[in-house]
Every structure is written in C-alpha cells, then in structure tokens.
Structure 1
Amino acid sequence: MAVLPIIEASTDELTEIFKDLHAHPEIGFTETRTAGIVADKLRAYGVDEVHVGIGQTGVVGIIRGNREGARRVGVRADMDALPITEETNLAYASTTPGVMHACGHDGHTTMLLGAAKHLAATRDFAGTAVMIFQPAEEGLGGARGMIKDGLFDRFPCDEVYGMHNSPNGAAGTVGICKGAAMAGASFFDITVQGKGSHAAAPHQSRDPLVIASNLVGSLQTILSRNVAPLDTCVLSVTQLHAGAAYNVVPDTAMLAGTIRYFKDEVSALAETRMRELCAGFAVAYGVSINVDVRNVFDVLMNDHDLSDAYMDAAADIVGRENISDTDQPATGSEDFADMLKVIPGAYCRVGHSGTTGLHNPSFFLDPEVLPVGASIMARIVERRLVA
C-alpha cells in the first residue's frame, strides 16, 4: 500500500473527522453542520477558494496547481445520512435519534478532505482541482440541485470522479464497471380510491385493500411478460398503506416502490405498462387509481477511457494486483450519475473490512480505508492534470 505521505501523516486527524461526522449525521439538504466543518477544514488546509450554499448545502473548494494549465478535474463526495436508527454500539455512534450514516457518506466526505489537504499542500499538478461536497444523495436530488444552481457553469470541469466504499471484506481492493455501472431509478406512488364500509358488510364497499393486493401481484408481470429477458429491470413494491381500524373497510390504499433499469426505453415500457394496468384495474373494480411516477436517478455511465485512468491512479496506491476493471453492474442507484450526464468521468468502489451491507442499521465503515480513498482521489487529480 502506497498511501500518499501527507495523507498518511494525517490519518489520526481524518479518523477524528470521520468519527465526528458519524456521530452527528444529517439528512439531505440539512447538512449545515457537516458543510460548516468541510468549509472550515478546506480554509485551514489553504484551499484557494471555498464556496458554500451551492444546491442549498453543497460546498466547493478550488485548488490551483503550481504549474499553469487550463484543464480542470472535479472530485465529488456525498455528505448526507439516512433515516435509520443505528445499532452498531460504536463509541462514536449517532447521537441523532433515527438518523445514521449507514451508507458511508461520512467516510466519503472525510476522504475528499484528505485529498484536498494533500493537493493544497503539494500542488504538484498543472491546472485546477475542483473539490465537490454534495448534499442529499439519498434520493433527494442533491446532484441535480447543485447542477441547477450552476455547479458546472461556475466551476467548469473537463472530467469528474466519484467513489463509494464497498463493505466486501476485501480491504485495499478497488473495482470499477465500465459503461452502464449503476441502474437508473424511478419512484412511484399509486393511490387506490375505493369506497369504505363496515367490516361486517364488505359487499357495500369497493375494497381498496383487495384491489391494491391484486395490483401488487399484477405489477410483477411487467417484468416477466413485457421486459425482454436479457434486459435488466427491477420493480419493487416497498410500501402498502391502508386502514386504521379493525372493523372498517377503508376508502383508500396506497402503494409505493421503485423501478430500476439500465435502458431508458425499458424504464418507459415499465411505466407505460404500470399506468395501463392501473387504468384497467380502475375500470374493472369501478374505482379511481392515481399513478405518480418520477425519475430520481439516471443510469450511471462510466467513461471507458477515464475508467482506465481511474484504475491507473488507484493502482499507484493499492497495487495493480488489487485492481479490477470488470466489476458487474449494480442495480442500486447513485445520483453521481446526474453529474456524469453533464461531464465525462468515472465512479469506483473501494473495499474495506466488514461485510454488513449498506443501508443497514449495523453497517460499519472501517476507518482504515480513509487514507486509501483519500490518496486515490488525490492521485487521479495529479495524473489527469499533468503539464
């Protein structure tokens, strides 16, 4: 392992930053404390410019190399936490009830701070490094918010890179999937407006629970009987809400869930069939059914050449033997995809010890990965901004 010297010497500091962020998690667009810490650290490290309030709570740091160059490379980390009650029993566990860093964004933020410290101290590159600290990645549109707020107009980038921790139990490994690497996602809400009744006289109702239950099963036929077998699509109903009493057939039932896809035409097909099924159910049962489908994540597309460049930079830190450029696509989603729709770039995963999955109340990010990730982030800037 060849962690960059300044980052290695800062390991204790980075670990303390990480633990502090972990203990004080903030949900998307409320990361005011986190953003304040980020901005203060960037200023302390001697970053040339620190801009706050981008996309509400986003932060951008600008670092100029010691050699002239017109090119600009962006590196991005996310900052938000999840509405999950932590069950790790760590000494630095969340102090905010019902909120937890269960996806490692506290680690990502810390890594980018470590990279910024190294780059601001050495400046061994030609051009400009753009350090992007993004809010609200967890389905709230933080990337789109920063872009709408002029992120790449105010801070142009020729290419941009992101990173995620991978709790695969294989510390010091780095992997990437070229091309379509992570699924796009749409969220949906379906409201069945029926007719309520006394539970003893269900024949007087138009029972939305029965309709919703049947609809859950029928929605699965979209995949099995409409989507081509070689096209990946995942449709999951994740919520069903109805009723509040034992002896009342309710008026309404509500379904919610997600559609994951790798092709826009597959997403369009799934949405069309969902609307058609709901319209048919409405006619068949004599009720009204409202369908709201909204795109939340785009398909994350890794540029092939820049993926190779990213792995070359990672190899400098972890060794070529610990690099994989043939990772399989993931059906999870990531809103860094929105940045990659505007600016070419790549997104990799860095392994660490611990095997509890993301978004789990027992998730653990091993702090030993912090200097590794920080070094890779710094190295890709140095490699891409050569004279």
Structure 2
Amino acid sequence: MNAIAKQLDTEAMRQWFEHMHRHPELSMQEQRTAEFIAETLRSFGGYEVETGIGKHGIVATLSAGSGDKTIGLRADFDALPIQEQNNFAYTSTVDGVSHLCGHDGHTAMLLGAAKYLTDTRNFNGTVRLIFQPGEETMEGGPAMIREGLFERFPVDAVFGMHNIPGLEEGKFYFHPGEMMSAVDNWEVEIVGKGGHGGLPELTIDPVVAGSSIVMAIQSIVARNVAPANRAVVTIGAFIAGNAGNVVAGNAILRFSVRTTTQEDREMVLRNIRRIIDHQSQSFGCTSEIRVGVPGAVLVNDRQETEKAVSIAQTAFGEDQVIYPGPSFLASEDFAFMLQKKKGTYCFLGSGPGKMVHHPEYYFNQQIMPIGAAYWVALTEGYLR
C-alpha cells in the first residue's frame, strides 16, 4: 500500500460504503443516495457541489493554486434488480435490489479521495468529481451530458475506474483503444393464444415460438460475426405463464447484445429483428420489439492512458500496473463521456470472488484505499 493510501480515512470509507450497500436504489431512482453523497461532500468543506444533473447526478468542484488545467474523476452509484444472497452485517435491506456491481465501493473510494484532496490541496488546478446515476441502464451518462455536463463543468480529460473480481487484488489494468463493448438491451413480447394445456390445438403457443427464437438467435454470432471480432447475445429472461397445465397467452424475452464494431452491431441487430419476425409468424404468433437505451464502445485515448499508466506506476510501483491489460465484452456508459472528452478507464483487481452481477458477489473493501489513492495520485500528477 502506497503512502497516500496509508493517510486516507479508511474507516470513513467503510462507513460510507456500508451505508450505501444497506440502502441500494435502482438506476435513475437514486434520490436518497444522491442526497447522502451531496451531504457528505459538503461536510468536507471547500467543494462547490451541484446536484440534479441528469436527474440525480452530482458534480463537486475543488480548485487549488493558479493552474488552469481541469481533471474529471467519475464514479457511479446505482444498484441492480437482484436479490443479494450474502449474509453480511451490512447486507441490502431492500428486497430484490442490491449493490452487486460495486458501485457503492466506487463512490466510497471517490469520496475518500475527495476528503483527502480538500484536506491537502497538493495540486495546481481544478478537480471535478462526477458522481453518476443510471450506469446499469446506460441512462445516467447520456442524461448528464444532455444537461450540459461538460459545458457547465469543463474538463481537459475525464477518468473512470471499475473493480473486477478475478483480477489480482490491488493491481491496476489499463488498455489503450477499444476496452469494452457496445450494448443493446431489448425486450420482445411474443403474443399467441392461451388455453388449456391438454387442448393445444385450440391455442397458439408463444413459449414454443420463443424457444425457437432463443435457439435461432444464438446462431447469429457463430455464423455471421468474423472469428477475429467479438460479440455475444445473451437472453437473460424468458417469462411466460405460471402454471404447468396452461398455455400462456404471451411470452417476454429480455436480452442484451454486445458488439465491438459498428458494422457488427448493425448486422447482428438486423438479423435479430429478422429472426424474431419470421419465427413468430411461422408459429402463428405476433411480436413486438421494445428497444432500450443503446450503449457505445468504450474507447480509451492512448495518450491519456499512457499518462495515467505512468502516474500509477510512480505511485504504486511498476509491478502493480498491468499495461496493456485485458478488454471485456461488458459495457459501460462512461463510453459516452469518452466520446466527448479524452480520457481513460481502468480496472482495479479485487482478487478472487464471484463476478459482478452474481447474487453472491461482494465488494472487497481491502481495495478501497488503493482505489482512492489512485484518484489522488492521478489528480496530483495531472495537476502538477
């Protein structure tokens, strides 16, 4: 652990983290969480705190010295619609909602850095702390941008970070260029004709049609995406009926499509529409596609990535920084911020454990001072 990490208020970070973990709120519904974050920032003194940006977004600004450079640091704070299956003293108190991606930890780390920065002011310029809602649904980043995030709060570069189980605890992983995929979240309703399970000839079964669609969709990536590229289609929900002896009247499919090139994205989505339409008709059903908020490929600026790598190596040692690191087919709406401003996004390894979005995932609190120290080092290094 480096010198900065040893000076951070780790007990405060633990308390902030556990409070948010107990009281999770879904994407774009994070009113209480936003109020907690804003109140905590104001308690530090020194920050200009603006709230309500993109519904629940917050920007806290702190200046020191006479420098004219400005850096943006971003953390997310929304939770997931998943029932937590852990048994901690701070387990979620909200049925069916929990922080199983570590956004509570991300926010606690940035708050820890915020307190240290206002206490020390060992930089020359301006730091803007961006606390973003709605990452899981790809809504929060675009909402803040639409409401003038970078016009109202200009930055020269913007940086993000995410914990990743399975990567070595406490190490930083940087990747130049395309690091995470675009995502498209769709819902499809297949409408048939319900009836008695023993009289199928009087029904039109949407479950059979939906099952055929699920299997056919899986062939798109395997047979249409070049092996050198990467893409995946995941059907995460298939909802129909509630009794074994009843043919349901309709079925719902919810799925995500992840691609790494615009050409593949257009082709995959086009083929999905074709399959849904034709398969539904072949079984006598109708279908309706409801399109969610599309994501974007997260592209790190090479120069800013190398600058962040150098700062991290100086602060933590070269053996703690992996460059180039891995890329993933997960998605992040920080991609939209990187379309507007140069910057980079990195992973912080959290060691062994269940992957994010698993009911038994837990955020490794041991990495909180390391993540917070990175934010401090990046600010002090960028704003020399």
Instruction: For residue 281 of structure 1, report the CA deviation from its aligned partner.
Output: 2.2
Q: Does structure 2 retain, via aligned residues, the 8 Å contact 1:309–1:380? A: no
RMSD: 1.9
Residue of structure 2 equivalent to 1:2: 2
Going from structure 1 to structure 2, the CA distance change for 1:153 and 1:271 (only over 3 Å counts) comes to same
The residue type paired with residue 49 of structure 2 is: V
Residue of structure 1 equivalent to 2:168: 170
Equivalences, count: 384
Residue of structure 2 equivalent to 1:89: 87
Residue of structure 2 equivalent to 1:16: 15
Aligned-partner Cα distance in 2 for 1:279–1:86: 36
Going from structure 1 to structure 2, the CA distance change for 1:91 and 1:180 (only over 3 Å counts) comes to same
Q: Per the alignment, in what secondary structure is the counterpart of residue 53 of structure 1?
A: strand
Residue of structure 1 equivalent to 2:64: 65
Q: Does structure 1 retain, via aligned residues, the 8 Å contact 2:138–2:333? A: no
1:200 alignment partner, one of 195, 198, 205: 198
Going from structure 1 to structure 2, the CA distance change for 1:88 and 1:225 (only over 3 Å counts) comes to same
- Using the size of structure 1 for normalisation, the TM-score is 0.93
The residue type paired with residue 45 of structure 1 is: F
Query: For residues 104-125 of structure 1, what are the alpha-carbon distances to aligned partners after superposition, in whole Å with 9 as ceiling and x for unaligned?
Result: 1111111111111222222232
Q: Per the alignment, in what secondary structure is the counterpart of residue 70 of structure 1?
A: coil
Q: Per the alignment, in what secondary structure is the counterpart of residue 88 of structure 1?
A: coil
Unaligned runs of 5+ in 2: none
Aligned-partner Cα distance in 2 for 1:24–1:295: 26
1:266 alignment partner, one of 264, 272, 282: 264
Going from structure 1 to structure 2, the CA distance change for 1:278 and 1:159 (only over 3 Å counts) comes to same
| Aligned positions of 1:1-387 closer than 5 A | 1-4=1-4, 8-66=7-65, 68-168=66-166, 170-386=168-384
Aligned-partner Cα distance in 2 for 1:227–1:294: 23
Query: For residues 338-381 of structure 1, what are the alpha-carbon distances to aligned partners after superposition, in whole Å with 9 as ceiling and x for unaligned?
Result: 11111111111112344221112222222221111111112112
Instruction: For residue 9 of structure 1, report the CA deviation from its aligned partner.
Output: 4.3
Aligned-partner Cα distance in 1 for 2:280–2:170: 54
Q: Does structure 1 retain, via aligned residues, the 8 Å contact 2:8–2:112? A: no
Q: Does structure 2 retain, via aligned residues, the 8 Å contact 1:172–1:318? A: no
Q: Per the alignment, in what secondary structure is the counterpart of residue 327 of structure 2?
A: coil
Q: Does structure 1 retain, via aligned residues, the 8 Å contact 2:54–2:145? A: yes
Q: Does structure 2 retain, via aligned residues, the 8 Å contact 1:354–1:364? A: no
Instruction: For residue 189 of structure 1, report the CA deviation from its aligned partner.
Output: 1.6
Aligned-partner Cα distance in 1 for 2:368–2:204: 56
Unaligned runs of 5+ in 1: none
Instruction: For residue 169 of structure 1, report the CA deviation from its aligned partner.
Output: 6.2
Q: Percent identity?
A: 37
User: Mean alpha-carbon deviation: is it higher for 244-253 or for 338-347?
Assistant: 244-253
User: Mean alpha-carbon deviation: is it higher for 283-292 or for 124-133?
Assistant: 283-292
Going from structure 1 to structure 2, the CA distance change for 1:86 and 1:283 (only over 3 Å counts) comes to closer
